[in-house]
Amino acid sequence: MIDLTQTEADQLLAMEKHRTSDESKRFDALRLEIPLVSADHREHFLLDIGRARINLLKVTYQTRAKQTVILARLDFGGRPHTNPDGQEISCPHLHIFREGFEDKWAEPLPAGHFTDPSDSRALFEDFLRFCNITKPPVFEDGLFV
């Protein structure tokens, strides 16, 4: 397990991220893991896209650093999340790394960052911007079907 301070996690989330390949990605599985790299190529990240097995409308987008540390995760199409303090947060919601709790806390989508919570394509594009993925992966049609 990698321990990050809140400052380190915030810096990693804010860091500009680029795709590592111009190869087009196809989302024909339940999970897709896409490598990303910082603009200076010193840090490596992963963008995960996951879909539930039974409820295909339940989707998760997340950005990881250091292979295992979830910096941000967007969940939609699923059940509400219950935070460690018992507060329930409805879907869609956003998990952002919190020191000592990792990704266990969720919050409503921050106003101004997410344009249309009912549109999966808009959620994805807004999530990429939120995570500062300035050169995102290229996808074939079908990701948002």
Average pLDDT, the chain: 90
* Cβ-contact 76, 90 below 8 angstroms: no
Instruction: Give the three-state DSSP class for 121.
Output: helix
Instruction: Give the three-state DSSP class for 18.
Output: strand
* Mean pLDDT for the stretch of residues 60-76: 96
Q: Residue 143 pLDDT more than 70?
A: no
Higher pLDDT, 61 or 145: 61
- Do the bridges between strand 24-25 and strand 138-139 make them parallel or antiparallel, or are there none, so unpaired? parallel
Tokens representing residue 43 in the block = 């840090």
pLDDT recorded at residue 54 = 66
User: Model-level pTM?
Assistant: 0.90
* Mean pLDDT for the stretch of residues 130-144: 83
